[in-house]
Amino acid sequence: MRCLSIAFALGFLAFQPQATRPTRLVKISGFIQHLQWSPDGKKFLFTRGNFGGKMGLWTVNADGTDLTQLLPKATMPHFDGHWSPDSKRIVFVYDILQGTDGKLQLDVMNADGSGQKNLLPHKDAFEESPRFSLDGKRIAWTSTRNKNQDIWVMNADGSKPKALTTDLAIDHSPTWAPDGKQIAFASARAGNLDIWVMNADGSNQKRLTTDPKMDYWPVWSPDGKHIAFTSNRDGNYEIYLMNPDGSNQRNFSQHPGNDNYAAWAPDSKKLAWISNRDGEYAIYVAEVRPD
């Protein structure tokens, strides 16, 4: 019976999406985070910290070439950008510093860093984590305008903002389902950060992960079949995958280094993430084997 159980377990594991040996794309000095893969597959967008004394947005080609700072003349920190579905625009957080305090607002710009303009001004609230829907018509984001961190949604032009969550706990990092019908997000409402999901109108909020450790940065695959997220449930930060209903949770990156900020390729066949596994921050890419 024990041999049969082992054989069944090995057979089950063989059909799980696992990372092939990841390819290190490019090493980048300093701390990097908030990785995003452009919908046209050509570039990565990320936040680079402590470069020139400030935090800013950078891109690099998908083959690791042409590392570019998007707003080199910006005097204020800016971070956590997200591509529009046509890869032509970027929505991001712009931090208007006043002493040690900041006023977080949402700005937009062209993908080459030109044409920066304000989309959602700071009005006694922090505006963070903006994410375009896959049809480009809406943006989900995190706001404290109701005095706690909630998930909000608005039209892509900044009009008609609406709160989707109202829990007193922290809700952040929304990610759209490809069909626009659901939004997954991280929430601390159960006592620690877990991944939750809700309908795009805020109804039917459900908890997907229940591990006592921290789960965050959910990213829905473009084909709708998986949600990637970061978790420290195995003692260090790893990239995990699960089905959209929360089933079949499994460690994808499987490395003692810290792996974080997953980003899907447009065809859902590859997953990129940021890791310090070789002693310096770098972007890694691996194929996702089918179920």
Cα separation, 121 vs 92, in Å, equals: 12
Reply yes or no on whether the pLDDT at 134 is more than 70.
yes
Whether the full predicted model's pTM is greater than 0.75, yes or no, is yes
Alpha helices, H only, the chain: 2-14
pLDDT in tens, 233-244: 999 999 999 999
pLDDT the model gives residue 21:
83
List all residues 6 or more positions away from 184 whose beta carbon is below 8 Å from its beta carbon. Answer: 174, 175, 177, 195, 196, 197, 208, 218, 220, 227, 244
Reply yes or no on whether the pLDDT at 289 is more than 90.
no
pLDDT the model gives residue 5:
35
Q: How many CA atoms lie within 13 A of 11 on its CB side?
A: 6
The owner of tokens 């049969």 is: 4
Give the pLDDT band of residue 8 (cuts 50, 70, 90).
very low
Say how far residue 150 (Cα) sits from the centre of its chain.
Answer: 16
Length of the chain: 291
Asked whether the beta carbons of 275 and 285 are under 8 A apart, the reply is no
pLDDT the model gives residue 50:
73
Say how far residue 157 (Cα) sits from the centre of its chain.
Answer: 22
Cα separation, 176 vs 163, in Å, equals: 15
Average pLDDT, stretch 186-214? 97
Which H helix or E strand runs over 198? strand 194-199
Say how far residue 10 (Cα) sits from the centre of its chain.
Answer: 31
pLDDT the model gives residue 51:
73
